[in-house]
Structure formats: C-alpha cells, structure tokens
Structure 1
Amino acid sequence: MSFDGFFTHAIVHELNSTLKTGRVARISQPYPAELIITIRAQRHNYALLLSANPTYPRVQVTEVPFTNPAVPTNFTMTMRKYLDGAILEGVEQVGNDRIIRLTFNTRDELGDSQRLLLISEIMARHSNISLVNEKTGKIIDTVKHVGADQNRVRLLLPGATFIMPPKQDKADPYLPNQIYSDLVRQYQEPAELAKQLQAHYEGLGHDTARDLADRLLASDHLPTTYQQFIQHFDQPDPVIIDDRKKDFMAFPPLNAAGELQHFTTLSALLDSYYQQKAQQDRSKELAGQVLKVIKNELKKDRRKVKKLNQQLADASQADQYRIRGEILTTYLGKLTPGMDAITLPNFYDDNKPLKISLSPELSPSRNAQKYFTKYDKLKASVAHVNEQLKLANAEIEYFENIQNQIELASPADIQEIRLELQQEGYIKRKHKGKKQRKVRASKPEQFHTSDGTVVLVGKNNLQNDRLSFKTANKNEIWLHVKDIPGSHVVIRDTNPSDETILEAAQLAAYFSKGRDSDNVPVDYLPAKRLRKPNGAKPGFVTFTGQKTLRVTPKKLTN
C-alpha cells in the first residue's frame, strides 16, 4: 500500500487519539524536507514527523532518533517563533485526500489568541508543509517555496494566500453511495474492478483498491462488506507484507501473499518500513557535498600519481643522459659551435653510432654539461618523488575508505565524516568567527554473534580511532579486512571461540569494500598490537603478528 487517502484517514485517527490537546515542546528540522515537532500529550513526549521528502512523504509519530544540524534553518526558526508552546486542537484530513491539517491554538505578539494551520500535503515530488494563519488565509512559511515559474495555479510562498490543491472529481468513499454496487455488476475481474474503483473513489491507492475489489467480489452482501472495509481504517491492524518486496497496509488484505509482520500502531509500522530506506536516502542527501569533495580530491591525487610515475619512468632513463654527457666529453674536439646534433660511437654499446641532440646556442662543453646536469637532477628527484608517491597513494586509500564508509553510513555517520573532513582541511568551515562545535565520535554499531558475544563496528574514522584505542581492551580481538578499505571491528572478549571469530570476520568483510566478494581475507589480532603513527590520518593504524581468515561477507543481527 502506498500512503493513500485511506491510509491517511487511518493515521489521522491515530494522531488525534494520541496527540490531541498536546502542547508543542520542541521543534527541529533534522533534514531539509522533514520537520520534527515534539508534542507533550498524555504525560508523554511524542516526536511528530512531517516529511515532504519526494520519495518518502508521510506524517507519523516516530521513535527513530534524529541528529539536528548545528545551525537551524530559517523554516525551523519560523516554526519555533509561531508554534512554540502552542496547543494542538486537532488533526483532520481534507476529504479523503492525502492532505492533513493540524490546527494549533497559540497567542500572537500582542497576547491575543490565534489559530494556525500546519498543512501537510503528501503528494510525492509535490509534497510540502505549509504554516497558514487561519483567519487571514495567508501563508507564514513553507518548507519548499514554490513560485509562479514552477506552478501558475498555486503560489506557495510567505505572504501568499494559501490555495488547496485542485480537487479531483471523485466520490468521497466515506459519504453514502452505491457506486461500488454498480461497478461490481459491471466488472467481475478483480484487476479491472480495482481499476474502476480507483477511477471513481477519492484517495484509493492501487493495493487498497485491489483488496476492496477482492472483498466485494467474494461478498454475499455488498453494503455490509463495504462498510466493514472502510471501518477497518478506524481500527487498523497494521502489517508489513514480505512477498519478494515489502508492502505495508492498515490491516491484512483478504488475499495476503507472503509473511505478515504485525505492529501495534501505524506509526510503529512506518518506522519499521521506512527506517532503512529513508536512512539511506537521507545519507545520500547529506553526503552530496562530502562525495563531491572526495571525488575532486581523488581526481587530483590520481592525476598526481600519474605525473609522479612518469617522473620515475624518466628517472629510470637517467643513465642515458650520463652516457651522452660522457660521449660528448670524450669527443669534445669533434663538436663545433652551432651544431644541433652529432652522431658519435657509443662505447657503452659496441661503438654503435648514437645520434645526440645539441643546443646550437651552447658551446660544446656546455652541451656536455647540460646532459650531466639533467642526469644529476633526475637521480636526485627519485627519493622525493617516491615520498610524494607514497603520500598520494595513502591519501587515495584514505578517500576510498571514506567512500566505502558512506555506502553503509547513517545520517549521523555522514555528519561525523563531514566534520572529520573539515578537521583535516578538505572542507572549509563556515562561520569562521563563531566557536566551532567540537568533533566527537558517536558510539560504534553493536552486533551479537550466535553465542551472544558483543561485536563492535566503527562506521567512520572517528569511531574507528576511538574503538581501537579507547574502547577496546588490550587483549580483546581486533579485526580488519586485509589490504582494502573497511571498518575496524572489535570482539568484546579476550578469548573468543573460533565460531565467534569467524562471524566477526564475516562482519568485518561486510563492512568493507569487499562486501560483494565471496572470498575476503580478514586479519585479526589482540588490540594491544595496534599502533598509530604520528601524524597519520584518522582511521589509519599499523600492526604486526596478525592471523588471517578467508570468509564470505555476512551481516549479523544487532
């Protein structure tokens, strides 16, 4: 089921029973198109999520933790100004559409009572959240500003009059009607009946329409079946249906195929369904600038490596310049000013003739000296070039490791990766005059092996450093994939079983660049053998005395 009009009806009923008469305690905007309003109701704090994300738009109570940005957005500041301390009078749905209207009672700057509407439109890429003054009908602010160049019918800008989206010419399924009876008489094939039901009723998604069609076609008394169906949304039994792909519904469909996972509330269902998908989407959104910086740095480093390798290749030919210098010195008497080339016997190669280029503006001796100077310069550059090559390759490895971390990162991990790159000087800090927030590593992700042993996995370099040198005890086992980017992994046991080491190695392989391979080498050793060289980048360690396992990547349960 998509978040259609019927599901919207059900979530509105749930939100009213949970949040009505509650007071706004806190407002935050962890992501660009998502707003969190913490409402104190029934002696509980509830985090109400309003999402205008084009891929995952919804309204729900969430228990998923969010990390707020260091600097609140203008939209956040506006919401706080107008809604902080406001009382939620009620939540209602507009018709049977995917539009939810929350009515707040608060006071204006003069202390007079005023009602504000927070309107959430759950419409894919057209989703939006608007704060509207009920009395004037004027928009105070929207999470997405939509000008006349984007929509000629509706302006969604501060100060504009709020206009509802155009209403579809369809029947409200909650009002008395007999449309379904006529359609059942005309269409006996479930897919076609579902299509016709969608065409005639407002807010009917594909999955909901198909379930209603199945129930009507199997019914002996259509009015009773229809009423029971729509009443289900006031007393839902939320389920996720796992059949090749996961779907969610407000209650089990008549012809459910696949495994059913039940939830106590619709919000709990949405948390479970969207958490991983939305998390990945948010991570990519937050990682945009980070990935751009990494891509540019990798491009520069790879270009530098290519140039340095060419310099080494040139240096490997340095002896050719020395030989030419010596031959010219030996036959100096044969050179005359103004010559641009000369062919002389090469006594290093059986006196075979060797053509040597000359600079006509230089004297014979200066031409010979020019080759010796070139030779000396190339030989002297080898040590410097090798050192620069080592640094460039180390930086490439560092950025490739961060790329790997981003693929499995949560939004909190992305924030820390960004802070790390700021600390290393790759991303410029904003607000230079202000005190910068201290870079702190969050806790690593925790897993359990089959015998219950705790295994910790660092999800970014700041976590990796803290895990390896602060959290891990000296005799606990540390793991890392061999010679490729990956997470630091620690078994919280000084004498783990072979099975535990194997499972932890599989986990280390999963959180690495080799996660798509079938045979990944993983090093393991006591944490006390780890060393961090002076000046090394975050996440870089050296070690000795390791053992190696070859495993197939596998993620354990948390």
Structure 2
Amino acid sequence: MDLLVLNAITQELQSALIGAKIVGISQPTDLLLVLFLRKKGEVHRLLISANPSDPCIYLTSKGAESSSLSGFGKSLKHHIQGGQIAQIDKPALERVVHIDTSKRELDGSKASLRLVVEIMGRHSNVILVDVETGKILDSIKHVTASMTSYRRIAPGAVYVPPPQQEKLDPLTLMKEDFIHVLGTRPQEKPLWQHMLDTFKGFSPLAAKEVQEDPNPEVVWNSFKRIADALKSGPYEPAIITLSAGSGKKNKGARPDRSYLSPIRLTQFDPAQAQVQVFEGMSQAAGVYYAEILAGQQRETLRSSLLQLLSRHLAKNEKKRRHLEEELAQAEKAEEFKRLGELIIANLSRLKKGEVEAEVVDFYDPDQKKVRVKLDPQLTPYQVAQKYFNQYAKRKRSIPFVRGRLDSVMAETAYLKELQFFVEEATSPEELETLEKEVKKYGERERGKEEEREGKKEKKRGIKEPSSPRPFPPSPFRRFLSSEGFPIWVGRSSQENDLLTLKFAKPEDVWLHARGVAGSHVLILNRAHSESVPEKTLEEAAALAAYYSKGRGLGKVPVDYTLKKYVKKPKGSPPGLVTLIKHKTILVTPRKEI
C-alpha cells in the first residue's frame, strides 16, 4: 500500500470514523486486526494488517467478530474497547496513520491513547501509545534493542517515529529546483528510478507516472500532478489489471499483474489495461486485498498446523526411542532366568551375606566361570527367586511393549500423512478440514494422557449413540481416465478412510504410493469389468504417485489391488490400512490425466 493509496484511505477514515465508538475487536491472525466501530447506528469495520508482504488499512464490509485474541488483541480490548475515535491523521509524506482514542476509566479519569499504524513493508507494525507519557503500552510486533539500534518497540519504551528519509519534499519544490534535479540524473538511470531515489513519498508506481520527455515543462507537469495528489487528491480509486504482452508502453511491468491506485494512471497502454473504477478507496482496497489476505490467512493456518504436527511427531519419536529401549531390555529376560538357575544349581555352596559369587556356567560349552551378583540382605534362594521374577515380568511385558511400539509407529505414519496433506492443501476448505483433524488428534492424545494419569474417570452406563459424521459436500479430487473410468483421490487422512471404507465397492481398484505418505486412490469399476484397462491403471497410479510424498523421486512404485483385499486394522489411525495381496507398478507422477 503506497502513500497515495494511504492518503486516500485516511481521508475516508476521517470522514467515516471520527466520533465512532469502538464496540469490538477481532484478530483473525497474529498480524491482522479488525476493529468494529459504531457511529449513528451504523457499524463500520476497520481492517489493519501488519503482514510484511502486504501491509494495509481500510474499511471493509467483511470480518466477523471473533472471541479468539492473542496478546496484542487482548491489550487493545482492555485499553480501547468502549472508547471513541477522537482524531485520525497522518504525518505528511509518511506511511503512518495515527488513530487517537478517548475512553473514560472506572475512576472517572479520561485515558487518551493513540493507535499508530505503520505501513512500511517488513517494518510494518501497529503500536498502542499513551499520548500523555509517549510510552508504548503494547505492539503487534515487538522490536528489541538487540534487533535495532534506532528505536525499541516494546511495552514501557518511549515511542520514537520511524526515521526520516533523506530526500527532497515534492510538496514544496519549485519548478526551477525540479528542473535542476532533472539535470543531475545520470544518463543511464531511468527517470522513474531518479524520482524514486530523490523525492519523499514516491512509490515505483507513482514514480513511473512522471513522463519521460525532452521538454522539461512536460516532465514538470506530470510530476506536479503526482505531487498535488500527494497533498489532497482528488482521487479516482481504481484497480488496473494488465494482460500478458502489454506492449512497449508498459515495458518492465509484469504481465497479468494488478495495481491499486487512487489516481488515473497513464503509464499503461489502454488497449492492454483493464480498469475497474470504484466509488471509494476502501472499496477498491477491499477487492484488491481480498485474495491476498485470504492467502495470508491460509498460509498462517498452514504454518501453525505444520508446527503442531512437528511437535506431535517429535513427541512420538521420543516415545518410539523409549519403547525400543524398553523392548531391548525386555528381550534380555533370558539372562535373568539363566542367573537364577545358576544360583539354584550352586545353592549348597552359597551363603547369605555374600555380595557376589563365582560359579560355573553350565550354559557355556566350555564351562567357564562367571560372577553372579547377590544381595547380602537375602538368602541365595531368595536372590534366585528375584531373578526369576524379573525374568517373568520382562517376558510378560514383551507383547505389551511391542503393541505400544506398533501403535506409536502407526500414529507416526498417520501424522506424516497429515503433514503431507497440510503441505498440499490448496483451498481454505481443505485446510479447515485438516485443522479439525489435527485438533481431534490432539484432543484424543490429551484424553489418553489424562486417563493414564488418573485425571479422568471413564464414564460408565449406557453410551449414547453418536450421530453419523456428515460427508463433505464434494469429497475427493475427481478425475476421468482416458477410457472413461472415474478416478477419485483422497485429500486428507479422513477422506482416505471415507473413500476406502465407505465409498469403495469390492471390485473397485485401490492404489497408494508404496512406503510414503499420500492419498488413497480409487478406480471406480462399477460395471464389474474383469480387469481395469492397463492405460487407466497407469493413469490412476500416476495420480497416486503425484499426490504422495514420493512425488519428487522420478519413478514411484505404486501398490494396487482390488478393494476387497484392503483391510482396516481395528483401532488404527485414519488412513491406515493393510493389504492381503497386491501388485506394484512403477510410474512417473502426474498432476492431471
């Protein structure tokens, strides 16, 4: 969001929000806020994003109030919710907006706080400042002294504005001075780059509006148009979308790129630029940033799910190592039996009070002597019984430990599959479905831990029947083979189960990339053909290879079999199945047929 757009937005905020009451605060992501404000019976929503890639601020018609708030959202709710917007302004030529609020405290005193919105790329921030003391109460991003030597942004620090640019002020520049500046441009330097490097407030888009011309008067007039717009407008909000191959006039512009602008742009070829005009700047910004913000929220959710899954996987890896060590110890049970029997064979020569004894090892072909540890507090017979008890205990534990280890390995495979599906999800709906699945796994694990720790009593009595889980409106990725066979591909572990256990028929062909996380794939053979054609099988296998973790391996082995040979082990995690018999085909992954 450049300075021209921010100026136009600020004018709208001043007109719409001064005097409005702050009635709610929502925080969809860590760096995204929505303030709900009421004025004369009308509710306005002010969206503020401090995301480094696309920071922005504008009035929006979207955004439901949420009860989920992080640290900064909670601070805002405590300090400014219930207050009024007293003033909105911005320093000239700075991408900073000041929103001053006033709120009556419980003791009757009046608190004047300022929300400073800094729209500055990776340095973007939203900072709450006490107007009277100038100190920071909180910020959406904290900047410590170790991160910058210029200013610290953290609770208790004095707010220091962003550093001033060492450039010329375009608002006060005279024509003669501008022509002099033109003369200082190096011959190889583009005019727009010279404007960008020389004048405050110019973005690359605005700088390219300064017309390259041999006549300095023409250049000055085009420069003056931008300088006047930086002062106060007038504004003509629009989104300009370029098509590919936009001609010489747009040289250097990227094809199929959209631009948000509050003024009419002359740098693009009208034949190649589609212009969408809006009544207000916020309306234009809402359309322009809608997909960008949706993408940011999608990536934020993806990142949080992957972090959560990584923690679950690390925990499972720790369990696996512990159980393998436990199993290795349990499998040494025969050693305890051997020691007990050696003591029994030598009872006549062993006495209570000895710490250890040297006995002949009749298990050894060479009958070598070995040293056996004893307990001086016990009789040799009691020591032998102790060894036998250790033997019996470890022997009994082996099936239990192996079962737990198998369970942990199955859960690890399930988590890796979930991880793969989260990485591959392309739509908000897919990610939201996966979020529910990840949360359900976490709740299940917490329940197991609470039961083990005795914090949760198992409910007794009649179990209420659970309502069947509704199917998604359009489950699975769906393809049609070149020979007319429908091919369905699962998009999550839950959908894998749904596809294999609910939708598949016995004669359908089931496929999955061998040994890696990925989608269950089904060739619908509802006509009960004796065998699915080889080409259809190869196409389905290529899809199974692509929608798996083995995608980057070149050639991928894919197992396939009839659905009637696919079984679900009792109690196994979603997506986990076993095959009674199968064949394997080697294919190159393909995203589409």
In structure 1, what residue type is equivalent to 2:367? P
Matching residue within 45, 54, 57 for 2:55:
57
Does the aligned pair in 2 maintain the 1:456–1:489 contact within 8 Å?
yes
Change (3 A) 1:323 1:164: closer
Give the TM-score of the pair, scaled to structure 2.
0.62
Determine the structure 1 residue equivalent to 2:124.
127
Give CA deviations for 1:428-477 in whole Å, capped at 9, x if unaligned: 99xx9xxxxx9999778864647796855434x4555556556x464776
- Cα deviation for residue 34 of structure 1 reads 0.8
Higher alpha-carbon deviation: 277-286 or 64-73: 64-73
State whether structure 2 residue 538 is matched by structure 1 residue 517. no
Determine the structure 1 residue equivalent to 2:252.
256
Counterparts in 2 of 1:233-252, with a 5 A limit?
Answer: 234=236, 238-239=240-241
Q: How many angstroms apart in 2 are the aligned matches of 1:388 and 1:311? A: 15
Does the aligned pair in 2 maintain the 1:57–1:124 contact within 8 Å?
yes
**Structure 2 unaligned residues grouped into runs of 5+:** 107-112, 260-275, 277-283, 451-455, 457-466
Secondary structure at the residue paired with 2:557?
A: strand
Q: How many angstroms apart in 1 are the aligned matches of 2:178 and 2:533? A: 64
State whether structure 2 residue 92 is matched by structure 1 residue 74. no
Does the aligned pair in 1 maintain the 2:331–2:394 contact within 8 Å?
no
Secondary structure at the residue paired with 1:521?
A: strand
Determine the structure 2 residue equivalent to 1:383.
399
Does the aligned pair in 1 maintain the 2:167–2:200 contact within 8 Å?
yes
Determine the structure 1 residue equivalent to 2:323.
305
Matching residue within 212, 217, 221 for 1:216:
212
Does the aligned pair in 1 maintain the 2:119–2:125 contact within 8 Å?
yes
Does the aligned pair in 1 maintain the 2:316–2:408 contact within 8 Å?
no
- Cα deviation for residue 122 of structure 1 reads 1.2
- Cα deviation for residue 400 of structure 1 reads 3.2
Matching residue within 522, 526, 536 for 2:572:
536
- Cα deviation for residue 297 of structure 1 reads 1.8
State whether structure 2 residue 422 is matched by structure 1 residue 425. no
Matching residue within 420, 441, 444 for 1:404:
420
- Cα deviation for residue 58 of structure 1 reads 2.2
Q: How many angstroms apart in 2 are the aligned matches of 1:161 and 1:448? A: 58
Give the TM-score of the pair, scaled to structure 1.
0.65
Higher alpha-carbon deviation: 354-363 or 475-484: 475-484
Secondary structure at the residue paired with 1:95?
A: coil
Give CA deviations for 1:47-81 in whole Å, capped at 9, x if unaligned: 86421234542236889999956679536857995
- RMSD between aligned residues: 6.1
Secondary structure at the residue paired with 1:424?
A: helix
Change (3 A) 1:287 1:381: closer
- Cα deviation for residue 200 of structure 1 reads 3.0
Q: How many angstroms apart in 2 are the aligned matches of 1:100 and 1:173? A: 20
Determine the structure 1 residue equivalent to 2:184.
186
Change (3 A) 1:254 1:170: same
In structure 2, what residue type is equivalent to 1:344? V
Matching residue within 30, 34, 49 for 2:32:
34
**Pairs aligned (count):** 519
Secondary structure at the residue paired with 2:440?
A: helix
Q: How many angstroms apart in 1 are the aligned matches of 2:537 and 2:60? A: 36
In structure 2, what residue type is equivalent to 1:95? A
State whether structure 2 residue 491 is matched by structure 1 residue 458. yes
Counterparts in 2 of 1:87-106, with a 5 A limit?
Answer: 95-100=92-97
Give CA deviations for 1:151-206 in whole Å, capped at 9, x if unaligned: 99898989x9999756546445466654654333212345586665334322334x
- Cα deviation for residue 541 of structure 1 reads 4.0
Q: How many angstroms apart in 1 are the aligned matches of 2:592 and 2:62? A: 21
Determine the structure 2 residue equivalent to 1:113.
none
State whether structure 2 residue 367 is matched by structure 1 residue 353. yes
- Cα deviation for residue 376 of structure 1 reads 4.2
Change (3 A) 1:526 1:175: farther
Relative contact order, CA 8 A, sep 6+: which one is greater?
Answer: 1
In structure 2, what residue type is equivalent to 1:407? E
- Cα deviation for residue 32 of structure 1 reads 2.3
Secondary structure at the residue paired with 2:324?
A: helix
State whether structure 2 residue 516 is matched by structure 1 residue 484. yes
Change (3 A) 1:329 1:91: closer
Change (3 A) 1:523 1:310: same
Q: How many angstroms apart in 2 are the aligned matches of 1:368 and 1:148? A: 65
Matching residue within 195, 198, 203 for 1:197:
195
- Cα deviation for residue 12 of structure 1 reads 7.0
Q: How many angstroms apart in 2 are the aligned matches of 1:335 and 1:473? A: 69
Secondary structure at the residue paired with 1:353?
A: coil
Secondary structure at the residue paired with 2:420?
A: helix
Change (3 A) 1:36 1:235: closer
Matching residue within 284, 291, 300 for 2:303:
284
Change (3 A) 1:126 1:378: same
Does the aligned pair in 2 maintain the 1:197–1:209 contact within 8 Å?
no
Does the aligned pair in 1 maintain the 2:26–2:65 contact within 8 Å?
no
- Cα deviation for residue 346 of structure 1 reads 3.8
Give CA deviations for 1:206-260 in whole Å, capped at 9, x if unaligned: x4487468x53788742355457787995655458999xxxxxxx9984326543
Q: How many angstroms apart in 2 are the aligned matches of 1:174 and 1:474? A: 74
In structure 2, what residue type is equivalent to 1:98? R
In structure 1, what residue type is equivalent to 2:117? S
In structure 2, what residue type is equivalent to 1:50? I
Does the aligned pair in 2 maintain the 1:130–1:142 contact within 8 Å?
yes
Does the aligned pair in 2 maintain the 1:416–1:462 contact within 8 Å?
no
Determine the structure 2 residue equivalent to 1:248.
none
In structure 2, what residue type is equivalent to 1:416? K
Q: How many angstroms apart in 1 are the aligned matches of 2:554 and 2:324? A: 31
Percent identity for Structure 1 against Structure 2: 24
